[in-house]
Amino acid sequence: MDTCLGLALDWFRSIETSEEAELTSTEPEPGGADDVDGERSGHDVDVLVVGGGQAGLAMSEHLSERGITHLVLERHRIAERWRSQRWDTLVANGPAWHDRFPSLEFVDVEPDAFASKEQVADYFVAYAEKIGAPVRCGVEVTAVRRNTGAPGFWVQSSAGSLNTRFVVAATGPFQRPVIPPIVPPDAGPVQIHSSAYRNPAQLPEGAVLVVGAGSSGVQIADDLRRSGRRVYLSVGPHDRPPRRYRGRDFCWWLGVLGKWDADTPPQGAEHVTIAVSGARGGHTVDFRALAGDGIHLVGMTTSFDGGRLRFAPDLGENITGGDASYLRLLDEADAYVARNGLDLPEEPRARIVGPDPQCVRDPLLELDLADAGVTSIVWATGFATDYGWLHVDAFDENGQPKHRRGVSAEPGVYFLGLPWLSRRGSSFIWGVWHDAKYVADHIVTQQGYLAYGADTSGAAI
Ligand SMILES: Cc1cc2nc3c(=O)[nH]c(=O)nc-3n(C[C@H](O)[C@H](O)[C@H](O)COP(=O)(O)OP(=O)(O)OC[C@H]3O[C@@H](n4cnc5c(N)ncnc54)[C@H](O)[C@@H]3O)c2cc1C
């Protein structure tokens, strides 16, 4: 509760009885009169925002600007995942000038530097204070159901229940760690997900296999190698942009080239992970350099049998694919410079791609974990969503949210912060702010419809 702002709506404060105040509300009468005004309608708030990370705060800012009563419920602390679900040395992948909301700069981080995870979390606490976000921390939303015979939703939480007209699910793009069922839990090595990795000392002595070569996998492998561990890194298909090119960070290049705004790929299209790092002042992720530092690269991890792990023979192809994405961005950047007559220093050396290391030329296809002394596996293999609390008709047969730009298939329910919600930038700090604006506008429009006729008939649509 230490970062809980204890800020809530006035009506809400008035029913609080203590720090751990219960939310209390009466379930609406089926068919009861209703309008968009919270008090008259029996709705405690117009909008309930579930989750107090960056998405929940962005939503709060836009709702406040539009004068919409709302409450943000966060089960832990503001920006909790940045505090307790990231490794110790993690810094933001983008520079401080970029990875932030428009109306607040980092005070303690130089614009071109990379904020530590604690600085990012502190930034969001400061942001919540700045915008006076009505956040209640330590309250978990356990169930949301559509009211029957009355508009809106009935919300149950660890602190009681309330009634809301709209619900925004801002519970994160990365909710439930996913570990592919390849190595049985009792196979020997300690197995953890990247979200549980903190530092090398947490793992038993011995070599470590890191599976996954997105930003998390490469950074964790590097962290372990620098502590003196023997490390194997299982590399799948990836993109790897240059950290800086011609004096500009890749975040800038993706911005001017319109790539952050790239449209959501069609459902089922293959998602390619992106390998970037802000560690140690920021550097281009270069798998050859990682191999040069002593990390043994292997292909995709495919199966496990009799203590032996097998890897696909795709390492060379994956490295080449990453190189191609890197060189493509340099080409596009050069074309942009030429087209706009910019005076940015040429950087021909950036195009030099070194020779493949031995582990790429002659890739390991099998590894006996005991012989290799592998005592731990860190699975940097991504996340799934978990909306077990949201009992509405807004999911497809695979449990994935059905929505368009966050506006769900269930009227009144919104999703925010999901990868590719509207564009590439949607799950990133700066991108979610723009998506929240769209969702807030949608809610205002809906409120307009719902208010129509309320004055004369006493009931909204
Ligand atoms: C390792 C890693 C590094 C990243 N680095 C960057 C970066 O450098 N730059 C960048 O822009 N993005 C980065 N991201 C992506 C993104 O910015 C983060 O994932 C960010 O945490 C997403 O914010 P969010 O508010 O959408 O979700 P979250 O931060 O996940 O916040 C959701 C909140 O909802 C709460 N919650 C969940 N369920 C409930 C419930 N039922 N009731 C109440 N509360 C609930 C959770 O406690 C949590 O605090 C990174 C992601 C990862 C995994």
Between the CA of 25 and the centroid of ligand 1 the distance, in Å, is: 29
Condensed to tens digits (0 to 9), the pLDDT of residues 124-154 reads: 999 999 999 999 999 999 999 999 999 999 9
* Tokens at 146, concatenated: 């559509």
Residue 273 belongs to a domain with what CATH number?
3.50.50.60
Are residues 394 and 373 located together in one domain of the fold? Answer: no
* Tokens at 269, concatenated: 């299209």
Going by CA atoms, what residue is nearest to atom 12 of ligand 1? 428
d(CA 449, CA 324): 50
Whether residue 457 lies inside any domain: the answer is: no
d(CA 241, CA 269): 20
Whether residue 461 lies inside any domain: the answer is: no
Are residues 236 and 370 located together in one domain of the fold? Answer: yes
Return the SS3 of 291: helix
Return the SS3 of 74: strand
Condensed to tens digits (0 to 9), the pLDDT of residues 157-208 reads: 999 999 999 999 999 999 999 999 999 999 999 999 999 999 999 999 999 9
The DSSP-derived string for 394-408 is -B-TTSPBPEETTEE
Chosen domain end from 382, 400, 432: 382
d(CA 99, CA 305): 43
Chosen domain end from 323, 355, 382: 382
Chosen domain end from 357, 382, 407: 382
Whether residue 456 lies inside any domain: the answer is: no
Ligand 1 lined by 136 (C-beta under 6 Å): no
pLDDT score of 441 more than 80: yes
Ligand 1 lined by 429 (C-beta under 6 Å): yes
- Grade residue 23 by pLDDT with cuts at 50, 70 and 90: low
The answer to whether residues 382 and 212 touch, using CB atoms and an 8 Å cutoff, is: yes
d(CA 70, CA 446): 15
Are residues 183 and 141 located together in one domain of the fold? Answer: no
Ligand 1 lined by 240 (C-beta under 6 Å): no
Condensed to tens digits (0 to 9), the pLDDT of residues 372-400 reads: 999 999 999 999 999 999 999 999 999 99
Between the CA of 336 and the centroid of ligand 1 the distance, in Å, is: 33
- What sign does the CA torsion over 431, 420, 176, 413 have? positive
Are residues 237 and 311 located together in one domain of the fold? Answer: yes
Are residues 217 and 133 located together in one domain of the fold? Answer: no
Total count of domains within the chain: 2
pLDDT score of 430 more than 80: yes
- Grade residue 456 by pLDDT with cuts at 50, 70 and 90: low
Are residues 84 and 159 located together in one domain of the fold? Answer: yes
3-state secondary structure 134-183: CEEECCCEEEEEECCCCCCEEEEECCEEEEEEEEEECCCCCCEECCCCCC
Are residues 109 and 219 located together in one domain of the fold? Answer: no
**One-letter amino acid identity for 82?**
W
For the beta carbon of residue 2, count every other beta carbon within 10 angstroms.
Answer: 6
- Grade residue 271 by pLDDT with cuts at 50, 70 and 90: confident
% of the chain surpassing 90 pLDDT: 85
Between the CA of 429 and the centroid of ligand 1 the distance, in Å, is: 9
Cα three-residue angle 179-183-185, rounded to 5 degrees: 85
Are residues 415 and 332 located together in one domain of the fold? Answer: no
**One-letter amino acid identity for 230?**
R
d(CA 310, CA 297): 13
Are residues 185 and 171 located together in one domain of the fold? Answer: no
Residues 384, 389, 391, 396, Cα dihedral to 10°: 0
Whether residue 283 lies inside any domain: the answer is: yes
Are residues 345 and 400 located together in one domain of the fold? Answer: no
Between the CA of 422 and the centroid of ligand 1 the distance, in Å, is: 17
Whether residue 142 lies inside any domain: the answer is: yes
d(CA 415, CA 438): 11
Ligand 1 lined by 363 (C-beta under 6 Å): no
Segments forming the whole domain that contains residue 72 = 3-175+385-451
Are residues 308 and 252 located together in one domain of the fold? Answer: yes
Whether residue 458 lies inside any domain: the answer is: no
Are residues 311 and 341 located together in one domain of the fold? Answer: yes
Q: What is the mean pLDDT of the chain?
A: 90
Ligand 1 lined by 74 (C-beta under 6 Å): yes
pLDDT score of 291 more than 50: yes
Please report which residue ranges of 371-428 form alpha helices under DSSP H: none
Residue 263 has what pLDDT?
Answer: 82
- Grade residue 457 by pLDDT with cuts at 50, 70 and 90: low
Whether residue 189 lies inside any domain: the answer is: yes
Condensed to tens digits (0 to 9), the pLDDT of residues 298-309 reads: 999 999 999 999
Whether residue 459 lies inside any domain: the answer is: no
Between the CA of 175 and the centroid of ligand 1 the distance, in Å, is: 8
